[in-house]
Each structure stands twice: as structure tokens, then as C-alpha cells.
Amino acid sequence: MNAKIQVVLCKCCSEMPKLLNIARLEKLASESGNVLSVMTLDGLCDGKELTQIVAEARAKEIDRAIVLACQKKDVSPALIKAYRRAGVNEYLVGIVNIREEVVLPHTAEPERAQTKAETKLLAAIARSRLLQPLERSSEDMKTRNVVIVGGGVAGQAAAREAAKYGVHTIILEKTGKSITAPGVVMPRARLIGGKGYGGNFELRIKVGESVEDLGAASIVVASGGGWATLKGALAKTVKGALPLYEFYQKLQLDQVPAGTVVFMDTPDPAGKTLKVQDFAWDDTLETAIELKKKRPDTAVFVVFQEMRASGLSELAYKEAAEIGVKFVRYDRSATPKVDPKDPTVLTVKDLSQGEVLKIKLGAMVFASIPASQDNQIIAEALRIPMSPDGGIRRGSIQRGPVSTPKPGVFVCGSALFPKSRDVAAAEGEAAGKMAGEFAARGSIEYGGIVAQVTQEKCSACLTCVRTCPYEAPFIGTATKAEIRVQACQGCGMCVGICPSKAIELLNYTDDQIMTESKTLLGGDF
Amino acid sequence: MKAGSNLEKVFESGQFAVTAEIGPPQSANPAPLTHHAKMLKGYADAFNLTDNQTAVVRLSSIASAVIIMREGVEPVIQMTCRDRNRIALQSDLLGAAALGVKNVLCLTGDHQTFGNEKGAKNVFDFDSIVELQVFNQLRIQGKQVGGEVLKDPPKTYLGCAENPFATPYEFRAFRLAKKVVAGADFCQTQAIFDMDMFEMWMDEVRARGLDKKIHILAGVIPMKSAGAARYMKNKVPGMIVPDHIVDRMKGAKDAKEEGIKLCVEQIEHLKNVKGVHGVHIMAVAWEEMVPRIVEMAGLLPRPNFES
Amino acid sequence: MIVAKRKPLNEIAEMLAPYKKVTIIGCRSCVAICLAGGEKEVKMLVSALKIKNKRDGRKQQIEGTVVERQCEKEWVQEIEDEILDSDVTLSMACSLGAQTIGDMYPKHLTFPGLNTGIFGVPEEQGVWSENCVGCGNCIIHTTGGICPIARCAKSMLNGPCGGSANRKCEVNLEVDCAWSAIYDRLKLQNRLDLIESVTPAKDWSASHSGGRRVIVREDAKLTQHQKKGKGVT
Amino acid sequence: MTEPRPKIVGFCCERHGMDAVVLAARSGKQFEVSVRLVQVPCTGRVDGMHILRSLEEGADAVFVLGCLEKNCYYDTGSIEGRKRVGYVKQMLSELGLEKERVEMFNAASSNSWVFPEIVAKMVEVVRKFGPVGGEKR
């Protein structure tokens, strides 16, 4: 073993020496095999201290390091830069979180905390000896296209923001409506298929009747909600059933039919399929007020199970009540009904008054909006997951609020879950920024901690292919698994599930992980 | 005449036939069989002896048949393909015929997982249609399935069962046709509760002219309680019990009486369905009610060919 | 593919309890793919048994190894030392693998670690269904490509039986009725005439009922001369 | 050293899992000192073998800590982690060992109280069942 290890103890703003015996840790480190240098610093966050490390590492020809400090995220970037100057591979710099794992939570038991710190140090050294230097590579993006699926409020906002990064935006709009946005707008265009990975997607689109290929560096899904569609029992029965959005447009054009207007939360009051979006109440109240003001003689009802009117819409609620809009609350045990034999009368039991109302319908308007039906096709084309509501599923919040689990694919607006124009526009901007910034990088960085297949062990069982959320593993020409490194995110799911133990995650190999756990268990407790 | 059994004679004379079931006991004691035979004699033309029904071990159907024959009652033995391969099935057919059993009902058999010997290895060398075909060839040509020709073939009247209420529905009349081709002389149906559905099936049967080629006995079950109705509705595969029947049983003051009444009404209805040549009453563990049902349905007296 | 399932660990532990040195042998073929006896399972089993021994205070040496295909003598031969060095071998292959080791080393004890189940098709990850029982005389060209011998609980040739409700099997309401599926498939293919006539009794002599079956490919067999040439007796 | 302590190993993902540990510590929470964490990129990387080996090599209890299933950095990683833990639990039960010694937990990076609770729970498990080897600590 030729590993040349440097151990650095950071006093972490003088917290560490209060609890731990630094001298004992230093001694333990220096007595361990392969450790050529042991240094104690006041604080790694200080640039001067880093210079000392670099100097020592160079002098002792150090090739790997263990740093006892605080959380990796906080110390990592500067430290890694420093070690790079000293010629140490960034993947050989191990950070042991002594501060949060030992110093802070065990103040009452200094002796045991000391033992724990020592064991952690030994485990880190043991693991460090097994590590290998890893490299990152880069691949040029073949295009600077940011493809935006959907040209609604969110899509337009995304295009505007993305364009600021100097990338080429392309909006795929399924309708023929004209849209003002930077870049290209393709009317009557739909996304129907795709392959590739963040940076180099190859999309298949349908424009009118012709099918075309389109490269993309990043993608924004802004497919909107199912604004024009109504699902549910009542929507089927009632002849004049309208989505709120459509009713609002009719109201603007004075095309609202005569007679009583009932605004209701959902056309599926007994089911669980449709939830009512918070903002829908704001819009409902606003529309009801506008209607009542325009046509004071029209009877206007708002029928609801639970209303979440907050803030300013609380005022709208008051105003509506004052000008004569009637509010009727029902519950699941007695849902409003329309007899199919007489689809012009709504029967509803008013919970607050206790009486059963029979309302002769002029128009019936529903506030809830289902997810866009296009989502399914888009999700399948990009192989991104969906939420139970039928929207596109968000990625982990740590990847950003407009991310999908797939790097390079972003989502905004009602494609996630129907929402108001304002929120959709804001999300569109965010997604546009993310997608623009992503595409503007011009190249994809990959490698480092990625999965690696030992093909002799592979049975081509497809388990890794089926399990990976990123489509990194595939069965290659040798009919053995291979890893598409550009797509590999380094999570190790395929490694943990491979029945033949044919895959390893670099620098998180079984041997490395179990050496660490074994060393930890070998120490005193 | 194929076998000259009482049942065959009833059909051939163009009369409306009645068959019922006697369940062999879960013991070596023949007394319950004798008891039921005495009680039911004269109330049906022949009685089915079930073959380890629902895969529960019982006194064998051939032995049971011989026991009731001693009381002057005609048996229909059920023979399932679950427990016997082609050697045993053919051998048992010869044996049954030699003992004077003339009616045999060919069945695939309930799966052993329903019974009290769940660990059994099943056979299913044949299914019911193959069984019919083999038995038919054996009785007509005296030829075994393996080709060997026997000197004295069995004289047997062959029956089958069919369930109009099992999926795929559109295949059910089709399947009866296969059984006719395979050699079935009569058919006892699964218990009927949904008359509309049964009549739809009969329409198909008649459209194929099957009612002219096979004697159909419509199956009925008298119910003791609303619970029984619900159980059959929800738990018995391939059985359809409409809600109105369950409701009627639930609403009845005296469920047992209601069950009898319902059964009699069903028989009255079935008598008038074209192509139905008889009824098969499955009074499971309620055999004592058969005489009353038969009488109330106006099916007495039963024809007598002995004199 | 042959699909197997690991025996319950208590059964395995009990089987191995009397022996001091145990070698557990996995297989990289079918049983690895069906997640029952590949390297991962072998390693986990070794570890689990060691924990059990630690708990029970039993001294037992347990090793694990994996071969490419345990049903082939040449692959087994490669680990001959590990096998013969132990008191007992636990095979984590299908019964074919276990029997191959047993036949090669008749004095040595070889126990099965898996229950060999079915010829299965992977419906989805982690789910395998029995679609063939190897009856030796395939008829699925007449049944819409669906095998009634394997997929019907009663192996009916003229099904479906009267227990088919909602196109499910009476034996297991989760399982599709094979004959309903055959009917639907043939209808789709416009080939219902195939089941119009009575299918006669099946000749089961090509199945296991005909005794232990051996399949021979004469032109592939090595002649006595060839075998001698290769130094194999 | 005085009386022995429960030996607990935790495989902890470096995303929400580790964040929850750090947040707990920074919020001044104290927890049992004898817990030893092994950092993995994602709980989907955890292999049943890692858990079993830890028990074999002296751990009294092992837990796996990952992101919330609906908010996993690697999308489905913590679901995989849960399944791996479930399989080990099943193996332990089959052998008549206490499956409670092995547990899967999920945390959000903003939950400062979760990690101390997890540790407390595992300490309780070891208190109840003692060490795997039998000799009482």
C-alpha cells in the first residue's frame, strides 16, 4: 500500500479542543500506517490555513487526505480547491464530520466522545487507503436548445427567462394560437418521444402531421392544466356544466346564459379524484362578484364543502355575501345531486341551515381543474414520474422547486398541479432560469462517483436497468450491463440491488463501506 | 335406449324430469344414505351421488350408489377427473356398470384446494369433455382411449354439468355443444337464480339446436337464510345471485319458508322455459325438503315404468 | 428461466446445524436472475447464518462462493477444493445444481438452499409466473399462445371450467382464468374455430409421467473416440 | 470505560439524512454517544449485506436513514433503502432473531428532532433485546 495520507484536524472555531483531546487524536493519527502528515488548524474556513495544508501536502508528496472538521458541504469546495493545488485528487479528500457527529451532540461525555472521534478517525484512514483517484470528464452539448413544452403563461415566462442566458428557446405549442415569446414558437407541435440525458436530449416531436427530431440541452415542461376538461358525475349529468375558466371568458364576452348560476367546488363531490385548488376559491369569488354586479337580478349560489378563503379573498367572501351571493355548504354524507331524468335541478342539503334546496339551474360552474391529459404522454416520452393527481412529479426539493427527478428536465405551472396565473408565471420564470443556465453551460460534466460494471459477473438480468431512475444502466453489445456515465448520478441503487454483485459504485464499494463499518465496530464504545 | 335407466325413460317418454342430490357421508356409515333413500323415494327420478364434492373426502359415490339402489332408488354417480387417471376412470366405469349403475355424470371436479386434503396431488389426466368422449367411445364401440376393444362394453347414460353463469358467458352454450358432440345425453346446470341470464343462455342453446340433442335439467337450490344467499353471491365462484333475491331473503319473516317458496316459484318458471326438460334440485344438507318442493311445484306423482 | 425461492432460513439453519464446516455455493445463472441464489444472496446468507450462530453460541465455519452455472460439471469442478474441504455443501442453485454437485461427489453431503419452483416468466421485477410445465408436447399454437396445461389449475384441454368468474380462476381469484384468456386471444385472432371441436385425451407420455426424461441431440454428442481424445472417460 | 453501551450503526444518506443529523447537532440536541454513522450517497446504495455484516461484526442494532420517500434526492432511492431493510428484517425473523434490531428511517433536512428520536428508539431496542451474542452488557 503506497497511500500517503495527510490528516488535518480543524479546531472548528475552537469548539473541538473544549471537548476532545487534540493531542491524543494527533498521536493516533501519526501512529497509523500510511499517515505521513498530521496537522491541526484553528479553522479551515480561513484561507491562510489552507495555504499551510497545501505547502505541507506538497512537501510530503501527499496523495490523499482526511479532514476532521464539520459538515462536508461547508468545508468542501475551498478545501478541494486547495488540495487540487497540491495535486491531490478531489475524490481522495475525505471529510469526517467531527463537529456535528461528535463535538456538538456529546458535550456531557467527553471520554466517550474522544473514543468515538478516535474510532471515526481510524475508520476514515482505513477507508481512505482503499480509495482510488477518480476523474471527471465532460461532453459538449450538441445544441443550445431549451425546449419548452407548452406555450401558456408558464411556458412563455420560461422562454423569456431562459433566453436571457443566450440559449435558443423553442416552444412547442399544441394549439395554433399565436404566442409572443423569444426564440422559436412551433404551433401545433407536441412532444411524443425522447431519449438521451441532461445536456443532450434527442426529442421526437409531432408538428401538424409530420414527425421530426429535435435536439435539446434542457427541457421545460409547461403543459398546463386540463382547463377545458371536466370530469365527474355532475359534469356528465348537467347540460350547462362549465369549467370556471371558460365561464369567466363567457362572462367577459357577455355570453353567460340566463337563469340561476351555481358555482360549485367539484363535479365529483363524492369522489376523491378531484381536489379543489386553493386559488380556485379566489377566482370563484371574484367571478361570482363580477357576475352579480353585472346582472344583479341573477340568483348566484356558491356550493362548497370546505372553503379556504384567506387573506384578501376573505374580503371577497364578505363582499359577495353582502351583494347577495348565497353560500351553501354540504358534506360528503349528503352530496349535491342532479337527477339524470331532470338535469336542470340541483338538490343540495344546506348544512348550516339544515334545509334541502332545489335549485333550478341556468348554468353550473365548477372550480376544480383536472390535470392536463397531455402530462401522461409527456411523462412517458421523457420517462419522468407522475404524481397521483395526474401532474408531473417534482424532484427532491434539494434539486430545486421546479426540478423533476431527471437532471435537465424542469417543470412549472399547472403541469405540476393546477394553479393561478401568477404562480404559474413565477414558476415559469424559475424553470426558465434553471433550464437556461443548464443549457448555457455548453457541456455536461460527468464521471467521478459513478457505477461500474464487472462484466464477467453480470448475468444481464436487467434488474439494474429496471431499477435506475436515470436510465444509466443498459445492456450493451456484449449482452452485459454497461453504465451510461453521462446519465449516472452516483446514487448506487443499481449497486445495492444487483443480484450478482457485478456493479460497484466507485469510492463507495462494498469493501470500502464495510471496512468503514467494521473499523467503527472494532473500536471502544 | 342407451342404458335403459329410469331417468332415460322419463326423458324418452317426453315427461318433465326431476333429479335431486344425496350427499354421501363423511364416514363409513351407510345409514344416512339409506335414510335419505327411504325418505326421498318416489320424489325424483334419479339421485346424484356426489364424488368427494368440493374435494372433501366422503364415502365413495359408486359405493353410495349401490347402497341407495338396495332401497329401490336410482342413482346418478358423479365421476370427477381430479382423483383418477384414465386407467381408474375407465375401470370404475366398468365396475359401476357391472354393479347396475346406469347414470354417470362426467365432471372435471373442484380443485383440491377447496377441500380438506389441500396437500393432495391432483390428476386431471382428463377434463370433463375428454371424459365424456372417452366414456362415449367405450359404451358405443367398446373401445378404450388407448385403443383396446372390450368384449362387453358398459351400458351407461351419460350426463354432464354446465354453468351458464361462468365467464366467458358467450362461450358457455358453445361449450355445451362440445359436450353434446363428446356424447352427453343430459345436462344438469349450475343453480339458477338469475332467470334473465339463464334465459339468455337458453336462447343461445336453442339457437344452436342443442335443446333437441340434449336433455337439460335446470338446477335449483332452496336457500335456508339470507346469509346463504349472500354467501353464494359473494363466495361461490361462477354463481350469480341477484340482489333482489338476497333482499327478498333478508326481508322474509321466516327465511326457510321463503327459501322453499322461492325455489318452487323458480321451478314453476323453469317448467315453461322452452328446451328445459327437467329440474335438478340441490338441497345441500337439506334433503328432507325435497318432497315438499316437488309436491308444491306440482311435479307429483313421478312416472313409474316398473309395472 | 428456472425460478426458485430461498428456503426459510430456519429450515436452512436447522439442516446445517450439525456440521462444522459449511460451503454455500451460489449460481450466476437463472437463480441469480430470479434473485434467489446469486452472489448477493449467498453473501447475505453467510452473514445471516453467522449472526444466528453468534446468537446460539455455535461454532461453525461458513464460506460462500459462486459458480457460473452449477448444473454444469465443468464449472463445479473449478471449486472442487471448496466443496470437498467442507462437511456439507449448501447449494443456492436450483435442484439441478444441487444434484450436479451431489452426483459429482457422491460421498459428500449436498443440501438444497432453495426450493426450485417453476419455469417462470418475469411479469415485472420481482414477479415470476408459471407459464410452462414442460409437458414435452407443446400445443400453444392451437390455444392462442397460452398454455392451458401450465396456466389452468386443472390443466383442462376443453376449458374453462364452471368456476371461472369474472375471468378469474376459482382456485385463486387473483389469477386470470387461462381458458378465458385463450378464448379472448383466439377471438381477437379470429380463430375461435380452433376450440370448437373436442380436444381429445392428451398423450402425457412425453411429460414427466413417461418417466425421467432425457433429451438427446445425437449430432452434438461426443463419440467415444472424441471423448478419449479429450482425455475424458 | 465504565458500563458498556449499545453498539448502534447507522447508514446515513448524505442528502436529507446527513442534513437532519447536522441540524440536530447544530440545534443543540444531544443523543446517545455510541451511535456510529457510515455515510452513503443514497440509502439505495445500502445492501442488505452491509446491515447483516454490521450485526455480525458486533452491532446490536443497525438503522438506515434516508430522505423522505416523496422527497428523495435520487427520486426512488429511499424506497429502495426501505425494501432492503425489509428484506433483512424478514431474514432475521426467519432465523428467530429480533427484526426490530434493524430499522429504516426517513428524515427531512429541516427536522431537527428526528435524528435524536431515531437514536433513542434504537437505544430502546438494544435495551430491550441486549446484544446479539447473548451475554448481557
Residue ranges per structural domain of chain B: 6-296
Element (H or E) spanning D66, and its range?
Answer: strand D61-67
Question: What average pLDDT does range D125-136 have in this prediction?
Answer: 82
Buried b (16+ CB within 10 A) or exposed e, B39-48: bbbebbbbbb
d(CA A409, CA A203): 12
How remote is the C-alpha of C143 from its chain's centroid? 25
| Strand ranges, E, within A342-469 | 345-349, 356-360, 363-366, 409-411, 443-447, 451-453
Give me the architecture of the B6-296 domain, per CATH: Alpha-Beta Barrel (3.20)
Residue A281 has pLDDT above 90, yes or no: no
Residue with more model confidence, A285 or D102: D102
- C9 and C81 in a single domain? The answer is yes
CATH node for A233-366 = 3.50.50.60
Q: Which of A466, A467, A500 sits opposite C38 (nearest CB)?
A: A500
Q: Which three cell numbers stand for residue A78?
A: 475551498
Interface check C193 vs B, CB under 8 A? no
CB B144 within 8 A of CB B138: yes
Range of the domain at C43: 2-118
pLDDT number for residue A483: 97
Question: What average pLDDT does range B209-216 have in this prediction?
Answer: 97
Residues of chain A contacting residue D76, judged by C-beta atoms under 8 Å apart: 405, 467, 469, 493
Interchain contact, C41 vs A500, CB within 8 Å: no
Average confidence score pLDDT of chain A: 90
Element (H or E) spanning A97, and its range?
Answer: strand A93-97
> Which DSSP letter does residue C11 get?
H
Residue A190, strand partner residues? A206
The residues, ordered by sequence, that sit 6+ positions from C225 with a Cβ below 8 Å of its Cβ are: none
Residue A142 has pLDDT above 80, yes or no: yes
Interface check D107 vs A, CB under 8 A? no
**Residue C36 within a domain:** yes
CATH class of D8-129: alpha beta
pLDDT number for residue A75: 73
Chain D interface mutation, best of C44, C66, C115, highest count of D Cβ atoms under 10 Å: C44
- C102 and C154 in a single domain? The answer is no
CA distances from A200 to A161, A408, A483, D72 (A): 21, 9, 16, 24
Fold for A5-134, please state it: Rossmann fold (3.40.50)
pLDDT number for residue A231: 75
Nearest Cα of chain A lies from the Cα of C60 at a distance, in angstroms, of: 21
> Which DSSP letter does residue A7 get?
E
Nearest Cα of chain C lies from the Cα of D76 at a distance, in angstroms, of: 15
CATH class of A448-506: alpha beta
Residue D1 has pLDDT above 50, yes or no: no
Chains B–C, number of C-beta pairs less than 8 Å apart = 99
pLDDT number for residue A311: 66
Interchain contact, C198 vs B182, CB within 8 Å: yes
- Subunits in contact with chain C (3 or more CB pairs closer than 8 Å): A, B, D
Interface check A127 vs D, CB under 8 A? no
Average confidence score pLDDT of chain B: 96
Confidence of residue A276 (pLDDT cuts 50, 70, 90): low
Question: What average pLDDT does range B21-39 have in this prediction?
Answer: 96
Question: What average pLDDT does range A34-38 have in this prediction?
Answer: 96
Please tell me the CATH superfamily of domain A145-226+372-444, with its number: FAD/NAD(P)-binding domain (3.50.50.60)
pLDDT number for residue A238: 85
Nearest Cα of chain A lies from the Cα of D65 at a distance, in angstroms, of: 14
Residue A197 has pLDDT above 80, yes or no: yes
Q: Is the dihedral of CA A363, A364, A369, A374 positive or negative?
A: negative
CA distances from A197 to A395, B144, C196, D74 (A): 16, 68, 53, 15
Residue with more model confidence, A313 or B74: B74
Of A50-59, A242-251, A490-499, C211-220, the range with the lowest mean pLDDT is A242-251
- C113 and C137 in a single domain? The answer is no
Interface check A500 vs C, CB under 8 A? yes
Residue B113 has pLDDT above 70, yes or no: yes
Residue D4 has pLDDT above 90, yes or no: no
Residue with more model confidence, A240 or A438: A438
CB B65 within 8 A of CB B98: no
Q: Is the dihedral of CA A95, A100, A105, A111 positive or negative?
A: positive
Q: Do domains A145-226+372-444 and A233-366 have the same CATH topology?
A: yes
Confidence of residue D136 (pLDDT cuts 50, 70, 90): very low
Chain B interface mutation, best of C135, C143, C156, C208, highest count of B Cβ atoms under 10 Å: C156
Q: Which three cell numbers stand for residue C151?
A: 396456466
Question: For the segment D23-73, what is each residue's pLDDT rounded down to a tens digit?
Answer: 999 999 999 999 999 999 999 999 999 999 999 999 999 999 999 998 999
Query: Which region holds residue A116: left if phi is over 0, alpha if psi is between -120 and 50, else beta?
Result: alpha
Interface check C33 vs A, CB under 8 A? yes
Confidence of residue A278 (pLDDT cuts 50, 70, 90): low
Q: Which three cell numbers stand for residue A184?
A: 422559436
Q: Is the dihedral of CA C162, C168, C169, C172 positive or negative?
A: negative
Name the burial class of residue A471, with classes exposed (0-12), middle (13-18) and buried (19+) by CB atoms within 10 angstroms of its CB.
middle
CB A370 within 8 A of CB A231: yes
Residue A377 has pLDDT above 90, yes or no: yes
CA distances from C139 to B108, B181, C132, C144 (A): 20, 22, 11, 9
Question: What average pLDDT does range B181-200 have in this prediction?
Answer: 97
d(CA B68, CA B39): 11
Please give the tally of structural domains in chain C.
2
Tens-of-pLDDT digits for all 233 residues of chain C? 999 999 999 999 999 999 999 999 999 999 999 999 999 999 999 999 999 999 999 999 999 999 999 999 999 999 999 999 999 999 999 999 999 999 999 999 999 999 999 999 999 999 999 999 999 999 999 999 999 999 999 999 998 999 998 899 999 989 999 999 999 999 999 999 999 899 999 999 999 988 899 999 999 999 888 887 665 55
Q: Which three cell numbers stand for residue A189?
A: 407541435
Question: For the segment A453-487, what is each residue's pLDDT rounded down to a tens digit?
Answer: 999 999 999 999 999 999 999 999 999 999 999 99
Q: Which residue has the cell 327411504?
A: B38
Residue C95 C-beta-side C-alpha neighbours within 13 Å: 6
**Which of D22, D33, D34, D103 has its CA nearest to residue D62?**
D103
pLDDT number for residue A249: 82
d(CA A368, CA A372): 12
Q: Where are the domains of chain A?
A: 5-134, 145-226+372-444, 233-366, 448-506
Interchain contact, C38 vs A459, CB within 8 Å: yes
* CATH at residue C51: 3.40.50.2300
- C62 and C99 in a single domain? The answer is yes
How remote is the C-alpha of B50 from its chain's centroid? 8
pLDDT number for residue A279: 67
Residue A425 has pLDDT above 60, yes or no: yes
Of A368-382, B74-88, B114-128, B205-219, the range with the lowest mean pLDDT is A368-382
Chain C interface mutation, best of D91, D93, D99, D101, highest count of C Cβ atoms under 10 Å: D91
pLDDT number for residue A310: 63
CB C159 within 8 A of CB C198: no
**Residue C233 within a domain:** no
Confidence of residue D137 (pLDDT cuts 50, 70, 90): very low
Question: For the segment D73-126, what is each residue's pLDDT rounded down to a tens digit?
Answer: 999 999 999 999 999 999 999 999 999 999 999 999 888 999 999 999 999 999
Q: Which three cell numbers stand for residue B18?
A: 326431476
**Residue C221 within a domain:** no
- C103 and C197 in a single domain? The answer is no
pLDDT number for residue A270: 76
Residue A245 has pLDDT above 70, yes or no: yes
The three-state secondary structure class of D61 is: strand
- Subunits in contact with chain A (3 or more CB pairs closer than 8 Å): C, D
Residue A139, strand partner residues? A444
